Chain A
């Protein structure tokens, strides 16, 4: 897999997909809004760049976790909105529980070692 699929080095691998899935849970968004939302919700810690956002979205389209449909942006421009599919919801659940398990395990190690 080419390097470009990886988000910024400070974001653990696979986290970007998880975040995108999560922010789409509450409704469909266009690409820029996804990046904005992650940026805002993380209190400006996480910045998602074009170079990692769009490859990740393409991969999710391929996997069938999201679908794209046309919508109108706040600036009145025709743009693609991404919406979570049923498979995407299932993936989100799986990734969240997986993520919880891993962080818990890491926490345990950090606490007890």
Chain B
């Protein structure tokens, strides 16, 4: 302990110690001279040897190396700027990606005690759902001992505010929701258990800051005012502070106490009936005496007890999944694949940048031959030279990484402002991001600096093999990015040009939400019959169909995964009436339509028929556990999974018991845009307590394409970035090759060589790495592209157009990058070039 202390004290006061030692040794010499003895030896060296006892010389060397590196970089600003630019892009892209990931899944939200917060979800090996029946939630809350508190939120369709056109999003929350999260009010008060849980508590609402600011112009007199949500009067009691975060996907414009849910949604039995549609999302706080694990065990026991009460409700092997809840997004296993895909794309850019810089470093090593050999001649060890060169790379990498960080932060900030991000969200890098930046800088330095430093220190920089490998690596990585963007661009074009297999332009969806208001199947039948009759009376309406699964722009997606011939296939089911195929313009290719209410009969899509019974007639086959008879084959229409080319469909006839959950699809002959208001007023006259959701299928379709377009755009930007980086690298290397061979070229020209011949001298060494890189890149993409199938909208992952496009762009840019500097070789003047050296 004492030794460490003395060592540190020395480090702190090393200048004084050094002076004292110098003084002392001077005195020693004086005395020796007085006694007639001469001391020889380098005083500086002697002092240095004495200092070594303290074990800090490595710091001196490091500073020496850093100073030297800084001077060297400063002396060649062209190289330094190129290198920092390449690294800023290559590392900046990765740092930005990590910063986003950090904000989403690592950073704790600024809520009260975020680390004890957990998200609780029902799971079983087969089924997962974010929702839990409210009664189950109450059961867990009343019996748990490992959780010190539990709270919940229940979403719902957007509501009509007073008589405004634009609806507001709402969230029903338990009375302890805000107190548990530590949410602050900017004006008024938020919910509290004592008042909102009281019997006969009056209906109240809390507004989000954003909503209050934008829709109510920050009007502070709103507190105490009565507003109408879905025509129900409710008193505004407070506005949430702009600095209080919301949990993950739980943002709403207006928050209402969950006890008031039946008041707003008339007829709803969501709070009392465990089998009614809809449920709550649950959170808890792990008690200080418990851990997430013990809480999980306790909740499993409670789940099994709940099964005794509701044997039909609880699934086989059901448990409650516990995730840390204090983050923006709760990492789910399903998200991992998407994150891995993005990380892989960003990593490719990183590889391109590093390989690129490695090539430049090697080329630079040749121009520094002189310097290195002088240093070796005057006694520098190879180890020391290597350390010095690597320090230089590290310095470059750190400069690049931190400028990448700055670039990324600015980019994120601009995006946040443009996308209107919440004010509590902070983009300032925290310790995780800084650690990542330093870590990735070291990795980059190892990638681009280690091999060149080794080669140069061993004075082998003239060997071309490493340089060729580096060119090959960056071409391969750019090739992967370009092919992936080529595939996505083709998918966008395909999506826009080709027929999706169904008609959506002229269709309007109406979701009355009967089940949410406690309609019985019979009452639902009457309502739908009435509504259908009135709709068919509207001008331009040609047909009205019913579909249990809501389409394009509304509703959830359900699919069953079936194992067919060793492949898992996602089958998208629907339960429809006889008008469905006509209304959605899905052709019936073979067989007949479904008859009203018939059971044990089904229609399969052509794609499903081909998978299940290849080369056979699908009609008359039996499907699934129920042995349903296939009566018809319909055209492929991946309405619920436009992006997944492997998705297949199955249809059954709707049953009377499904009536309350049906959606209406209305097909019109003319323009669709002015019909929704008319439909709304018709629905209001039929039952004023319902607030049907009405939407145009074409806008849902557009949202779908938008996502694809953005993905294609993002990947294309990465691809172009990669190929431009490689271009810069190739320009540098070819220019270097020309300058190295000026003499040879001059002699060849003097002897009458043809231009093509001269070019081939310079470019031959790059031809093989570029071609090999392209081939390796294409093979690598083909190998991993299976993962892309689900987002390619039916384009094959081995689509030749995508591959050819990607490789062509790559070759074109590589060739241009190579020819630009190579032309200089043709302008070499033999006389002056030969005189020069």
Contacts and interface: CB of A to CB of B under 8 A. Distances in A.
A65 B202 CA distance: 82
Given A4-B52, A50-B41, A58-B53, A64 B2 contact: yes
B272 interface: no
B3 interface: yes
Nearest to B21: A54
A58 B50 CA distance: 6
A32 B50 contact: no
A32 B6 contact: no
Nearest to B31: A32
A77 to B, nearest CB: 6
Contacts of B50: 54-55, 57-58
A51 B25 CA distance: 10
Contact of A55 (B6, B23, B29, B53): B53
Contacts of B28: 31-32, 35, 50, 53
A35 B52 CA distance: 21
B284 to A, nearest CB: 56
Contacts of A55: 49-50, 52-53
B54 interface: yes
A30 interface: yes
Contacts of B52: 2, 4, 55
A49 B31 CA distance: 13
A50 B54 contact: no
B753 interface: no
Interface string A11-29: 0000000000000000000
A87 to B, nearest CB: 8
B27 A79 contact: yes
B707 interface: no
A59 B50 CA distance: 8
B24 interface: yes
Contact of B49 (A51, A63, A80): A51
Contacts of B34: 75
A107 interface: no
A32 B27 contact: yes
Q: Which of B23, B29, B34, B53 has the most CB of A within 10 A?
A: B53
Interface string A42-55: 00000001110111
A109 B224 CA distance: 104
Interface in B146-205: none
> What's the dominant secondary structure at chain B's contact region?
helix
B51 A30 contact: no
Interface in B231-259: none
A53 B51 CA distance: 12
B141 interface: no
Contacts of B6: 61-62, 64
Contacts of B220: none
B678 interface: no
A11 to B, nearest CB: 17
Contact of A79 (B7, B24, B32, B51): B24
B788 to A, nearest CB: 59
A79 B23 contact: yes
A77 B26 CA distance: 11
Nearest to A59: B53
Contact of B7 (A53, A62, A68, A77): A62
Nearest to B20: A80
Nearest to A2: B52
Nearest to A35: B28
Nearest to A1: B52
Nearest to B5: A64
A93 interface: no
A4 B49 contact: yes
Given A32-B32, A62-B54, A77-B27, A50 B3 contact: no
A55 B29 CA distance: 16
B543 to A, nearest CB: 94
Interface residues on B, range: 20 to 34
Nearest to A53: B28
Greatest chain B CB density within 10 A among A2, A31, A32, A75 is at A32
Contacts of A59: 53
Select the residue from B2, B24, B51 with max chain A CB neighbours within 10 A. Answer: B24
B46 interface: yes
A54 B3 contact: no
Given A50-B39, A62-B6, A64-B3, A73 B53 contact: no
A54 B46 contact: yes
A53 B31 CA distance: 15
A58 B14 CA distance: 12
A92 to B, nearest CB: 18
A51 B41 contact: yes
Nearest to A4: B49
Given A55-B52, A55-B53, A62-B6, A50 B23 contact: no
Contacts of A5: 53
B25 A54 contact: yes
Nearest to B2: A64
A73 B27 CA distance: 10
Most buried by B among A51, A68, A75: A51
Contacts of B30: 75, 77
Contacts of B31: 32, 73, 75
Given A32-B31, A50-B46, A62 B3 contact: yes
Given A58-B51, A64-B3, A50 B25 contact: yes
Given A2-B49, A30-B27, A80-B24, A58 B32 contact: no
Contacts of A73: 27, 31
A47 B285 CA distance: 76
Contact of B24 (A54, A63, A64): A54
A30 B32 CA distance: 13
B7 A51 contact: no
Nearest to B57: A2
B721 to A, nearest CB: 50
Contact of A62 (B23, B39, B53): B53
A79 B54 CA distance: 21
A80 B20 CA distance: 8
Contacts of A75: 30-31, 34
Given A2-B49, A59-B53, 6 more contacts: A31-B28, A50-B39, A58-B53, A75-B34, A79-B23, A79-B24
Please provide the 7 A-B residue pairs with the shortest distance between their CB atoms, ordered closest to farther.
A58-B53, A4-B49, A54-B50, A59-B53, A32-B31, A55-B50, A32-B28
12 contacts: A30-B27, A32-B28, A54-B21, A54-B25, A55-B49, A58-B21, A58-B53, A73-B31, A75-B31, A79-B27, A80-B20, A80-B24
Interface of B: 2-3, 6-7, 10, 20-21, 23-25, 27-32, 34, 39, 41, 46-47, 49-54
